[in-house]
Every structure is written in structure tokens, then in C-alpha cells.
Amino acid sequence: MKDKKFLYIPKIEKGIVIDHIPAGFGAKILEIIQSDDLMKDIIVTLGLNYKSTKLGRKDMIKLKVDDLTPPMVQHISLICPGVTIKKISDYAVEKKVTVRSPREVRDRLECRNPNCITNYEHHMETCFRMENESNQTYRCIYCERVFQLDELRPLIR
């Protein structure tokens, strides 16, 4: 069965596989990866809507690249906690990590409190710390307000 599935998306000799992406999020993750200039020209395979016992349907991405940068992994963990990132070497899994929601998110999200100093002081870094993992709530370390992760918009300078 396993081999049959891989007929749809070729095995890679060396690179990175991002698996267990909830269906519909594959394109979003690819967008994050390709927003990095160094990733613009790499070879990518994007698979959508595979059957998954855990998720029902899932997406998958294979990249011909040595590694993902830590900020990239952090960004993916914000959008899709639970995805697995596998490092492939000689067609075998060399390393596998399951991405968890980050404990701390630095300079990626904008605080929704209009009276927070981060929205006034020029070029000030923002920082949110996880308040509750199961509720996906984060606290701004400056104004101390707590937000749902999906309420927080990306920081645009």
C-alpha cells in the first residue's frame, strides 16, 4: 500500500519532506517557503489530498534542499503545528521532527491591542509567548494581553 501511494509522488534521494499537512494548507506552507529568496529556484513537488488515517486528507511537500531555516520552521509551526519534517538521505529518513507550536514568536506577528507600545515605537520587535497550547493562546510580552493565535496578523514593516 505504502509503495503504491508513492507512485503519485516520487521518492527523493536527498532533500526535505513535509508531511501530515492538513489538507488545504499545503499551498500556504509552500508560499511561506517560497517567500525566502534562496528557495525560489529549488525543485518542489506538491501533493494534495492524500488519504490519511490520522487526518482524513493530507497534503505533502517534497523539496530538493538540504535544510529549512529556523525562521521558516517557526513560521510553519505557527500555521500548522503537528506537521512532520523529514530529512531524507539516500532515499531513507535520516531525521524526523514533528513541529509543535512555538513557545515564543519573535517579530513575526502584530499585536492587536491598539494601545500596545509595539504599535507606536518605530521598528520595535514584537514578541508573543504561549499561554495555553491546547487553546492556542499567546500573550504579548509587552502589553500582556492574551490572543488566539488565529487573531494575530503577520507583522508587516
Partner 1 sequence: MKRDLISMDDLSAGDIREYLELAEQVERIPHADKGSRLLGRILMVMFFEPSTRTRLSFESAMCRLGGSVIGFSESMITSVAKGESVVDTIHTVENYADIIVIRHPKEGTARLASEISYLPVINAGDGTNQHPSQTLLDLYTIKKFFGKINGLRIAFVGDLKYSRTVHSLIQALLKFPRQNFLLVSPETLRLPEYLMRDDEDAATFSETTGIEEALSTCDLIYMTRIQKERFPDLVEYEKVKDSYCIDTGMLEHAPDSLRILHPLPRVNEISYSVDRTTYAGYFQQVRNGLFMRQAILLKLLGESI
Options 26-34, 45-53, 56-64, 113-121: segment touching partner 1 (CB under 8 A) = 113-121
Query: Is residue 60 a contact point for partner 1 (CB under 8 A)?
Result: no
Measured from the CB atom, the residue of 50 and 142 that comes closer to partner 1 is 142
What's the rounded Cα separation, in Å, for the pair 6 and 88?
15
Measured from the CB atom, the residue of 77 and 118 that comes closer to partner 1 is 118
What's the rounded Cα separation, in Å, for the pair 134 and 131?
9
CB of 118 to partner 1, least distance (A): 6
Kindly identify the residues of this chain, within the stretch 115-154, that bind partner 1 according to CB under 8 A: 115-118, 120-122, 124, 140-146
Scan for cell 482524513, then name that residue: 56
What are 18's three cell numbers?
513535509
CB of 70 to partner 1, least distance (A): 22
Measured from the CB atom, the residue of 67 and 125 that comes closer to partner 1 is 125
What's the rounded Cα separation, in Å, for the pair 132 and 27?
27
Residue 139, burial from CB neighbour count under 10 angstroms (0-12, 13-18, 19+):
middle
Measured from the CB atom, the residue of 42 and 143 that comes closer to partner 1 is 143
Name the 3-class secondary structure at 8.
coil
Scan for cell 494534495, then name that residue: 48
Footprint on this chain of partner 1 (rule: CB under 8 A)? 113, 115-118, 120-122, 124, 140-146
